Structure 1
Amino acid sequence: MTNPFDFPEAIQAAVLTEDDKAIQAARSLAEKAKVGAVARDQQRIYPRELLDQFTQIGLGSISVPRAFGGGGLSYQTLAEVFRLISASDPSLGQIPQNHFGLIQFILGEGSAAQQQKLLQAVVSGKRLGNGGPEKNTRHTRDVQARLLSTEQGLRLTGEKFYSTGALFADILVTTALQDNGLPTMAFIPLPAEGVQIIDDWSGIGQRTTASGTVRLEQVAVDPALIIPLPSAEKPTLRGAVSQLIQAAIDAGIAQGALDDALEFVRSSSRPWVDANVERNADDPYLLADIGRISTELSAANALLKRAANVLDNIDPLALSVENSARASIAVAEAKVLTTDVALRASEKLLEWGGSRATLLRHGLDRHWRNARTHTLHDPVRWKTHAIGHYYLNAVYPTRHAWI
């Protein structure tokens, strides 16, 4: 019988066990990602080589505990890695975001054997890809895919969308309802018969994430590679960790937009006729605007760091309803500010640069398109609702991957 954990050979990956080394590696990769970022966005060229480097240098396993051979690094480092990379290319940042959310899911819900084998696969260089929510359902948590028992064994059939990372994955992970009607997460080593990953993502932003369709037709699933989803009553950090990464990506988008704005204002824009200054960089209204956006970004980054610190100070062996809710709220607060500043900075960039900033050759519009697209992942109005309900009425947020 085939061992369900005998995955195909992966990219040979290093293991990063020091926070500063991981941040240094992310900063180096981010510098490389700046080169060609505009062309990749405009021509929809996937950052495959950069993604392989992400895995090879060990960034893919930094959140895997050392007991399983991983880096065991802090959530603060995880957030900073995503922020740095996303400042250069947020599509490169978004591709592995679900990989880390799934690591957290395995840690929270997998059996000891599943944790050992799946996480060791990650450490060896395997990438986890998301078979995302379903496009034609009532809401994002409505699951129509089915994992049914047949004479040939378990078979999964369904169609997924928003499948970020699936095209570049070694292991596809997706949800389906079992015979008993309960949802479960299935881990499918790729390539697999019956799995079709379709490159049909056409969003205006995050254009090279390949966040499109996955079709599953009678796909064989090994019972050892399914993990039931927890009940709504069980405390979990999966949502908080996933959202921390989302917020870090948005903070990175804001930083990239601000960095490009400052450079463009200095080198390529001209002052408004009524400003009576020689350089656009001396326009007093523009200076005040930049001051406001810089302050907002500093505040967002501070909340991002605080949220990661809350997560770092929770003992996973003492996870409770109370501390998991506190983590979700701390991350939600960061997400509110990172969403706002990503949108404002990327829009102000074009205003500060003037009409010439919209020219195709500069590629500056990508910042707003990326910010607008990525921040739609989960509506920020429900973040502020959860925050208000928590502080005013002591109501804990709903537990799922989006809070």
Structure 2
Amino acid sequence: MGDTKTANGGTRLVSVQSAQLGFNETISAIAETAAERERESRLPHEEIARLKSLGFGALRLPVESGGHGLSLREMFVVARDIAAADSNLAHAFRNHFWQVEAALRRCDHPFHEHVLRLTGQRKTIGLSFTETDAAAAGARASRVLSRLEWDATRDAYVGSGDKVYATGNLFNDAFVGLAIESRAGRTVQYLLERSSGVSDDDDWQGFGQRMTGSGTARFRAVTVPAAHVYPADPPRSDDAAPWGFTFHQVYLTNCIAGIARRVAIDAVEVLRTRRRNYYHGDATHPAEEPVLQALLGRIRAYSASVEATADRAIDALQRAWDSFDTPNEYDATLAATLSASEAKVVIDDLAPQIASWLIDLGSGSVVSRAGALDRHWRNIKVIASHNPRLYKEKLLGQNALTGQLPPTGAFF
């Protein structure tokens, strides 16, 4: 999907899809400086801004609304290219893309119309609600701005709260969430544009995905205009598919597939530039060493298989999207959720191994922090940890045996 093979059979960084959009120069520049950002722990403010200006966040919007008019499948192609260049940047856009997908499905609702307007202006939207930091099994998500209090002096609502693990919020222009509105005591949706009272701490301590802006977002007496507070989405019909969060999982798995592609690309450069071979090898130059050529081939093959597995889940998600509000919606959405789980189980196992083989290929020549090649393994493991693979394996086994249905919450 996306055509990332060169004429001689090698793997290239940028797909035809991204090149046609005019993204290739920017993606290549992001890839060239990724290791430098890793070494310097430098947040990608400039790179994120450039992607916004190109309309990366508006890939799914119709052209007449300020977007590029891509299908869901095509959007994943471009997002994987960004992940191959620097997975931090692709990951930072995940919550925004989900808001866009939800808005495209409910575009007749004024809240979602507002989301799409901001997106068409090349702005990105994050979250201001989250799970509690130490939730018990089965506990529901808690709100960050748990209550919006009406302030007559400001002629607006006021709210406060903290969001932990606020992925991408450091770079976002607006934030959405749910709260109790004080005057009527009802649950509402709100859209808060960045202003005074919003701050972001780069306090994310993960050993990978360090530059995703995933620290704590703090909202202190923020003002939400009454025009930006909307009724909650009406409940869907009883026969609608209840699995509404498969996109999140597929997006993360797609990011890992991008890293696997980058490993395959880096592996070629590692072997080409490696100068010394072991005395007990069969060739003077490492690039002529059969065992190393075989390992390079294995990396390439496994990387291609990871991408193909991710594509299978993306295709299932596209079919689910196409079936929205049709009699086939339930079956197609269930199939997409199961396919996403299958892809995660396989890719979470294979991708770290591929990244480890890269170190085997270069041996002591590539363990220097200067190349930051260890970031691939670390980033894969951190992305994979977001939604534990073990629970996906259990569900898939139960489903095969008894027809057990997946959970309907955010981690499926």
TM-score normalised by structure 1 residue count = 0.84
Q: Which residue of 2 aligns with 1:366?
A: 375
2:263 aligned with 1:257: yes
Mapped partners of 2:111, 2:391: distance in 1? 34
Find the counterpart in structure 1 of residue 384 from structure 2.
375
**2:370 partner SS:** helix
Aligned match of 1:246 in 242, 247, 252?
A: 252
Q: Matches of 1:259 and 1:181 in 2, distance apart?
A: 55
In 2 relative to 1, CA 184–116 (structure 1 residues): closer, same or farther, beyond 3 Å? closer
Partner of 1:322: 331
Q: Distance in 2 between matches of 1:171 and 1:389?
A: 40
1:211 matched to which residue of 2?
214
Structure 1 residue aligned with 2:32, among 35, 38, 42? 35
Further displaced range: 295-304 or 217-226: 217-226
Cα offsets for 1:75-121 (capped at 9, x unmatched) = 22111111111111111111111110111222345652223232022
For residues 112-167 of structure 1, the C-alpha deviation after alignment (integer angstroms, 9 at most, x for no partner) is 22232320220121111233635633169531534325342644332211111111
Amino acid at match of 2:71: S
2:165 to 162, 165, 169: 162
Aligned residue identity for 2:167 = T
Q: Is the 8 A contact 1:184 1:227 kept in 2?
A: yes
Partner of 1:118: 115
Counterparts of 1:141 and 1:70 in 2: how far apart (Å)? 35
Aligned to 1:13: none
Which residue is 1:81 aligned to? 78
**What is the 5 A alignment of 1:335-354?**
335-354=344-363
Partners of 2:17 and 2:78 within 8 A in 1 = no
1:162 is aligned with what amino acid?
A: Y
Partner of 2:190: 186
CA spacing shift, 1:44–1:256, aligned 2, 3 Å? same
Among 67, 71, 85, which residue is 2:68 paired with? 71
Q: Which residues of structure 1 form unaligned runs of 5+? A: 1-18
**Corresponding residue for 2:285?**
279
In the alignment, structure 1 residue 56 sits paired with structure 2 residue 56: no
User: Can you give the 5+ residue segments of structure 2 that lack an aligned partner in the other structure?
Assistant: 1-15
2:400 is aligned with 1:391: yes
The one-letter amino acid paired with 2:370 is R
Is this contact kept in 1: 2:129–2:143, CA < 8 A?
Answer: no
What whole-Å deviation, never above 9, does each CA across 1:211-241 have from its counterpart, x for those lacking one? 1001223433346445647879753674222
Deviation at 1:355, TM superposition (A): 1.8
Aligned residue pair count? 384
- Paired residue type of 1:72: G
Identity of aligned residues (%): 26
Amino acid at match of 1:45: R
Displacement of 1:274 in angstroms is 2.6
SS at match of 1:164: coil
CA contact (8 A) 1:68 1:116 kept: no
Give the Cα–Cα distance (whole angstroms) in 1 for the partners of residues 211 and 388 of structure 2. Answer: 22
Verify the 8 A CA contact 1:137 1:143 in the aligned structure 2: no
Aligned-residue RMSD, C-alpha: 3.0
Moved more, 94-103 or 366-375: 366-375
- How far apart are the structure 2 equivalents of 1:42 and 1:67? 41
Contact conserved, 2:130 with 2:143, CA < 8 A, in 1? no
TM-score of the aligned structures, taking structure 2 as reference length: 0.82
